[in-house]
Structure 1
Amino acid sequence: MHIGVLEDDLDQQAFIEQCLINAGHQVSLFTRASELRRATQQQTFDFLIIDWRLPDSCGMDVVAHLRQHDSWRGPILFITASQGEDDVVKALEQGADDFLAKPLRPKELIARVNALGRRSSYAAPRPATAYPNTFTLHTDAHYISVAGSAIDLTEREYRLAALFFSKIGELITRAHLLELVWGIKGDVSTRTVDTHVSRLRRKLELDGRHGLRLRSVYQSGYRMETCQTTHVEQVAQAQ
């Protein structure tokens, strides 16, 4: 998993990083809340670890902002030196999925991270109402219908489309697409991704006419967004 860690204590930060790397995770480190919030708009994270005491904010406020304003749906592990019951309750109420008190213990940290990661992976898929019913994903046969017409897609195009449909409203970076759909990690040219996305947008008519738009995010990646269909399209769908 790609894990973002918000911790201003550099020794504690290094400790968490080493534990996660040893467990096979990719880690991005942040010391200020503003840095993490900006990064979540530009990168794709699977998991966040957030400390309570921060130089420019309170971890509780960061969690609440991510959940309420940034539509962050992934797991959040909250860490703090406090072990008071009220603090635990408050962290969970603000949107944290789990809570760990300092001093952190390596095995327990990794066990909590892995457990939350599994829970997130096994979460039920979004219902069909998450996107317009003009689109139908045929998961067994790996094709997509648009307004009742089956669209011929390659296996890779279908996997790419299914990923976008499962994360409507979320930014997906080119690097993340390369890793998930192509199985490639590292600094690799993303022209292949751009070509496939352009072809997918054309085939599935993801230009807003059916209520979905696959939008390029400058120097970052792509985001599938819901939008209002045109009056002409609404009339056509009603007929």
Structure 2
Amino acid sequence: MEKVKILVVDDESRMRKLVRDFLVRQNYEVLEAADGEEALDLFYREKDIALIILDVMMPKLNGWDVCREVRETSKVPIIMLTAKGDESDELNGFELGVDEYISKPFSPKILVARVGAILRRSGKTEETEENMELGGIVVNKTAHLVTVDGERIDLSFKEFELLSYFMENAGIALSREKILNHVWNYDYFGDARTIDTHVKKLRSKMGKKGEYIKTIWGMGYKFEVENA
């Protein structure tokens, strides 16, 4: 089976090497570009790129321009690397069709986990039945079980789906609309306040670990574990 091909675009060579090394360990094939123009050249030349990791601030063409052009012809998943805490970048990207955001500085392990989740969602890799673990929380999707610091907690179906989605998107700001689309499905037309109600209950059941679910005022939520 051919390796899944990922394009990493960043003008900092050290950043590209860091990302490449972690991806290669997971058996991905990695292509690199140092600016927006080089990224587009590679994208058009290599027809089987499965995912793009794209920095915002770059010479020649910035990440937004690259994303805009790619989206004219392709729905390839794009992870955008943004300045830490710059929510305007994330809001801008929703309109351009960016799939996920990761703020710098970031944990390479989180990035690799996001890559794997997006590729599974897009059908590029096979699903695994491994546990998902972060910050002392373990989610077993196969058995539909959750433990916090070794103790099982009982969650409703939607609470379980919500926690799973948060952990799969750790470190990423998620709008209420996006949460509704993924957890309640695209055909859900209910009030977005239902998310706030479920988050409140979920935080309560998680105890102190509920603090990992951060509120992004005016937008939605972010699951964030310090030193993950």
Give the Cα separation in 1 of the matches to 2:84 and 2:107.
15
Q: 1:37 aligns with which of 32, 37, 40?
A: 40
Matching residue's letter, 2:20? E
Alpha-carbon offset, residue 58 of structure 1: 1.5
Partner of 2:62: 58
Matches of 1:87 and 1:22 in 2, distance apart? 30
Q: Residue 4 of structure 1 aligns with which residue? A: 7
AA aligned opposite 1:56: K
Aligned partner letter, 1:85: E
Query: Would you say 1:78 and 2:70 are equivalent positions?
Result: no
Counterpart of 1:100 in 2: which secondary structure?
Answer: strand
Computing the radius of gyration from Cα coordinates, the structure with the larger value is 1
User: 1:124-163 deviations in whole A, cap 9, x for unaligned?
Assistant: xxxxxxxxxxxxxxxxxxxxxxxxxxxxxxxxxxxxxxxx
**In structure 1, distance between residues paired with 2:94 and 2:116:** 18
Q: Is this contact kept in 1: 2:82–2:89, CA < 8 A?
A: no
* Mapping 1:169-208, distance limit 5 Å: none
* Unaligned runs of at least 5 residues, structure 2: 125-228
CA-based RMSD: 1.3
Report how many aligned residue pairs link the two structures: 120
- Aligned residue type for 1:84: D
Distance in 1 (alpha carbons) for counterparts of 2:13 and 2:20: 10
Kindly provide the CA deviation profile for residues 74-103 of structure 1, in whole angstroms up to 9, marking residues without a partner as x.
110000224222211112221110000011
Whether the aligned pair in 1 keeps the contact of 2:9 and 2:54 (CA below 8 Å) is yes
The answer for unaligned runs of 5 or more in structure 1 is 123-239
Is 1:47 the counterpart of 2:43 in the alignment?
no
Secondary structure of 1:11's match?
A: helix
- 1:42-83 Cα distance to aligned partner (Å, 9 max, x none): 112011010001011221111011102xx1211100002242
1:93-112 alignment, distance < 5 Å: 93-112=95-114
- Distance in 1 (CA, whole Å) between partners of 2:96 and 2:84 is 16
Do the aligned partners of 2:84 and 2:105 also contact (CA within 8 Å) in 1? Answer: no
Number of the residue aligned with 1:168: none
Q: Call closer, same or farther: CA 1:82–1:91 in 2, change over 3 Å.
A: farther
How far apart, CA to CA, are the structure 2 residues paired with 1:92 and 1:118?
21
Q: For 1:38 and 1:121, how far apart are their aligned partners in 2?
A: 25
Q: Give the alignment's TM-score, normalised by structure 1.
A: 0.48
Quote the residue 1:24 is aligned against: 27
